[in-house]
Structure 1
Amino acid sequence: MERFQNTGQPDWGWWSKLWPTPGATLRKLGIGAGESVAEVGCGSGYFALPAARIIEPGSVYALDLDEDLLAELNRLADQQNIENVVPIHGDARNLSAVLPERVDTLVVANTFHGIDDQAGFVQNAFDAVEPDGSLVIINWHERPRETTTVEGEPRGPPTKLRMTPGETEDTVRSSSAFVFNRHVDLPPYHYGLVFER
């Protein structure tokens, strides 16, 4: 199974420099209590775990191809007494087959730029989201990689993979019936786009 481009998982230490309060970021993007959420490319759960606290008792389906990262997610969930995260080992390019149900919100954080068939993924995402649900994409701004530093080191995907908010919006809107809702700036280096089904 071929992985998305540039999906290496950074450690929590530098994620926390970018998002010291991931739960607040998720709330800003519209995630609220009682929803069901799926995160594509969840890694070890930097967003999935705070999402689970927000939406409890709803479920967070945490999807990733890397079994080691899912094992780490399980360990962290146990450590934090979080019981509503459901790790799923599977390919996000086939969401309808790997998710047990449609979700209210589908979160794609820091991976959209690396998806080879973005149009196909968006079409699958549309089918995986409940009517009146939402797709949330968190992406790196299109700045040169050498300018997006954490602790003095360049971070994030290669410059050539980065997308402007307009490019991301156009890709989603041209590939599906998702309707653009809003753009949320996520300093210092990211933006979030919210689409409604």
Structure 2
Amino acid sequence: MERFQNTGQPDWDWWGKLWPTPGATLRRLGVEPDRSVAEVGCGSGYFALPAARIVDPEPVYAIDLDEHLLDDLDHVAEQQRIDNVVPIHGDARELTAVLPERVDTLVIANTFHGVDDEARIVEQAFDALAPGGRLAVVNWHDRPRENTTVAGEPRGPPTDLRMTPVETEDAVCSAAAFELDRRVDLPPYHYALLFDR
């Protein structure tokens, strides 16, 4: 399995500068108690671990191509005594094969811009969601990379990979029968689109 384009994993301090309260961000994305979650490209768990606290005892399936990051996630979950995170080494292009069940909410954060087959990911997301489920796609705004700085350095994907909200909506809704519910601004540099299945 090859990694998606430009999906390197920054450290927790870096993410903390963008989202100091990841649990609050997840609630804005529609993550709710007692509803299962899958996160595509979970990395070391910056969103997966707080999601697990919100939905406990329901599972959070944390999916990534990098086994080392999943090991890190597993270690932190053990330290924090979080036992409803399920790390899955797998490819989002094969979601229905790697997930043990359909989920209520599927989060794709900071990954969609680097996907080489958007339609495949969206189709898999649709099939991986339970009826009435929600897809949340978090993307960097389509601003020049030099204008999105973290700790004084330009960060995020290359400018040419960034997608406008309209481009993201078109990519999702043209590939599967999702309906856009709403857009959520996530300052300073991100937005999310929430889709209903």
Q: Is the structural similarity TM-score above 0.5?
A: yes
Rounded to whole Å, the distance in 1 between the matches of 2:130 and 2:159 is 34
Rounded to whole Å, the distance in 2 between the matches of 1:52 and 1:7 is 23
The residue number in structure 2 matching 1:191 is 191
How many equivalent residue pairs? 197
2:53 equivalent to 1:44: no
Q: Return the letter of the residue paired with 1:25.
A: T
The residue number in structure 2 matching 1:181 is 181
Q: Which runs of 5+ in 2 are unaligned?
A: none
Across the aligned residues of Structure 1 and Structure 2, the Cα RMSD in angstroms comes to: 0.5
> What SS does the corresponding residue of 1:43 show, helix, strand or coil?
coil
> What SS does the corresponding residue of 1:8 show, helix, strand or coil?
coil
Rounded to whole Å, the distance in 2 between the matches of 1:164 and 1:44 is 27
Task: Give 1:14 shift.
Answer: 1.1
Task: Give 1:171 shift.
Answer: 0.6
The residue number in structure 2 matching 1:54 is 54
Q: Which residues of 2 match residues 24-35 of structure 1 at below 5 A?
A: 24-35=24-35
Rounded to whole Å, the distance in 1 between the matches of 2:38 and 2:29 is 14
Q: Which runs of 5+ in 1 are unaligned?
A: none
Task: Give 1:2 shift.
Answer: 1.6
Q: Which residues of 2 match residues 93-172 of structure 1 at below 5 A?
A: 93-172=93-172
Q: Return the letter of the residue paired with 2:156.
A: G
Task: Give 1:66 shift.
Answer: 0.3
Task: Give 1:120 shift.
Answer: 1.2
Q: Return the letter of the residue paired with 2:13.
A: G
2:23 equivalent to 1:23: yes
Rounded to whole Å, the distance in 1 between the matches of 2:67 and 2:121 is 21
Give the TM-score, by structure 1 length. 0.99
Task: Give 1:93 shift.
Answer: 0.3
